[in-house]
Structure 1
Amino acid sequence: MTRIEEIYHEAKSDKWFQGFAFFCRIVLAASFIPTGLVKIMGERFAEGLPSNNPLGHYFDALSLTGYYYTFIGIAQVIVAILILIPRTSFLGVLMYFPMIVNICVLTYATRFAGTRANTMLLLACLFLLIWNYDRLKFLLPFKQPKIEPPALPKPLGVRLRVMFFGACFALLAFVIIGTSYLWEIGPGNSEAECRNQCDKVPGACEFCDCIYKEGKSLDSCLAAFNRTKDIRKTNAE
């Protein structure tokens, strides 16, 4: 058994790590139950998001897809329940992973303000996949030697706990700070939120008009914003 596998089995028997895994399961389930119920009831998801917002266009179209919209909601609730039940939590995490990857790509593509929350959910899901490595490894496309876990794993040292949870806090700080500077400009969750950028970013008001008043796509508004920025730069030179 390699040292990494030894640490893995030590972590699996550690109460701090067990508590963290339980916390991650609760968070993942809590993220899908209300959103799934909204879809099952046939209500538009994120009702406060305007229809002329880039992500609002998507939610409007999705809510009009009939029983497909209901199907997504049922799938989300089932996945959440599977994650909450210890015996089926691994299956639930496996089903949750492609769904949260899709959601993350969607929110990054539309510059949604809630991107950092979805990124954290993706990281929590990745942790649970690693937490279930003893079962996940049999699904990987390479031969796995059969290794029996130790009957009595050694207690996990305080140093490893501090290193792990310190790395978690550092990663969360990186996500929060990094997503704050990820884009020069974004549509926000409303026209008012978008216009808050007008004093800080030249051309932001024209960008917001393009999104919320003219109803153009995010890509075309960004292209116009970048053209205006290049003209300003050229004139300044």
Structure 2
Amino acid sequence: MNLIKKLDELHLWARQNKWLGYFTIFCRLSLAAGFIMAGFVKVKGERFTNLSNNQPMGHYLEALYHTGYYYTFVGILQMLAGALLVFRRTATLGAVLYFPIILNILILSLSVRFEGSLLSSPLMVLANLYLLCWDYDKLKYIMPYYRMPKPVGTDKKFPFKFFAGSAATIAIIIFIITHIYNIMPRNTERDCKRQCKNNINPHACEVFCDDIHNQGKPFDQSLEAYDRAVKAK
């Protein structure tokens, strides 16, 4: 309890200082600008940098670019995190969403020694951590040292509707995932070509598998070539 009290007092002191309040606004808007611009490039479907594919970071970003809508999804998350930081009412949620993304960028930058974000990413992580500390009063309830009040009494009635709904949801997800794609790259060329027997265009399917496992072509390009072959049949 003594630790919680001291942290509460420190947080209250920081919240009452107007200069720290100005610094908080600066961190929010700076982080927001960085992610909104970076995310917009991805949402537009453009390459993030003009690095050579042989450069370590360039090799990673080129592979990321060819992941299709995952690349767009990353951009949407970045723009969403940035937009949430702009507004005071949603800044806490923005900081929480922002942190795992920027931490991932930091570790990536350090692992491949990418000078483009070698300095900016750790500073952005620190700024993000500061914003999380600024909203300590909202986040302290998830800390391991904070003890929530125990519920009074225990309901021993088995929730049949809940578990039935959960089972139905799992079954629906399994069905959708196993039927949503008409072709898969699989883990090996042999496994990939097994699906070609029942494919609408067996030859196009085999070419797709060869492009993926032997030619080393990007997935999105191989998939586009397969779709064109199926439509032209």
Give the alignment's TM-score, normalised by structure 1.
Answer: 0.58
**Shift of the alpha carbon at 1:137?**
0.4
> Paired residue for 1:27, among 27, 30, 54?
30
> Paired residue for 2:113, among 107, 111, 117?
111
Q: In 1, Cα distance between the equivalents of 2:10 and 2:144? A: 23
Q: Match for residue 74 of structure 1? A: 76
Q: Match for residue 92 of structure 1? A: 94
- 1:115 is paired with a residue whose SS is coil
**Shift of the alpha carbon at 1:21?**
0.6
Q: In 2, Cα distance between the equivalents of 1:144 and 1:9? A: 20
Q: Percent identity?
A: 43
Q: In 2, Cα distance between the equivalents of 1:131 and 1:145? A: 21
1:1-12 correspondence to structure 2 within 5 Å: 2-12=5-15
Preserved contact between residue 8 and residue 137 of structure 2 (Cα < 8 Å):
no
Preserved contact between residue 110 and residue 118 of structure 2 (Cα < 8 Å):
yes
CA-to-aligned-CA distance 1:39-94 (integer Å, 9 cap, x gap): 001001122x2221100001111111111111111111111111111111001100
> Paired residue for 1:64, among 63, 66, 81?
66
**Runs of 4+ displaced beyond 3 Å:** 1-4
Preserved contact between residue 24 and residue 128 of structure 1 (Cα < 8 Å):
yes
Q: Match for residue 154 of structure 2? A: none
Matched, 1:138 2:116: no
Letter in structure 1 aligned against 2:132: L
Preserved contact between residue 137 and residue 144 of structure 1 (Cα < 8 Å):
no
Q: In 2, Cα distance between the equivalents of 1:32 and 1:3? A: 34
CA-to-aligned-CA distance 1:77-135 (integer Å, 9 cap, x gap): 11111111111100110011111111001000000102111000000001111111101
**Shift of the alpha carbon at 1:16?**
0.2
Preserved contact between residue 95 and residue 132 of structure 2 (Cα < 8 Å):
yes
List alignment gaps of at least 5 residues for structure 2: 150-233
1:129-168 correspondence to structure 2 within 5 Å: 129-144=132-147
> Paired residue for 1:52, among 51, 54, 58?
54
Letter in structure 2 aligned against 1:111: R
Q: In 1, Cα distance between the equivalents of 2:145 and 2:10? A: 22
Q: 1:20 to 1:145 in 2, by over 3 A?
A: farther
Higher gyration radius (CA): 2
- 2:113 is paired with a residue whose SS is coil
1:168-179 correspondence to structure 2 within 5 Å: none
Q: Match for residue 17 of structure 1? A: 20
Give the alignment's TM-score, normalised by structure 2.
Answer: 0.59
**Shift of the alpha carbon at 1:10?**
1.8
- 2:12 is paired with a residue whose SS is helix
List alignment gaps of at least 5 residues for structure 1: 147-237
- 1:81 is paired with a residue whose SS is helix
Preserved contact between residue 39 and residue 69 of structure 1 (Cα < 8 Å):
yes
- 1:18 is paired with a residue whose SS is helix
**Shift of the alpha carbon at 1:8?**
1.9
- CA RMSD of superposed structures (Å): 1.6
Preserved contact between residue 26 and residue 84 of structure 1 (Cα < 8 Å):
yes
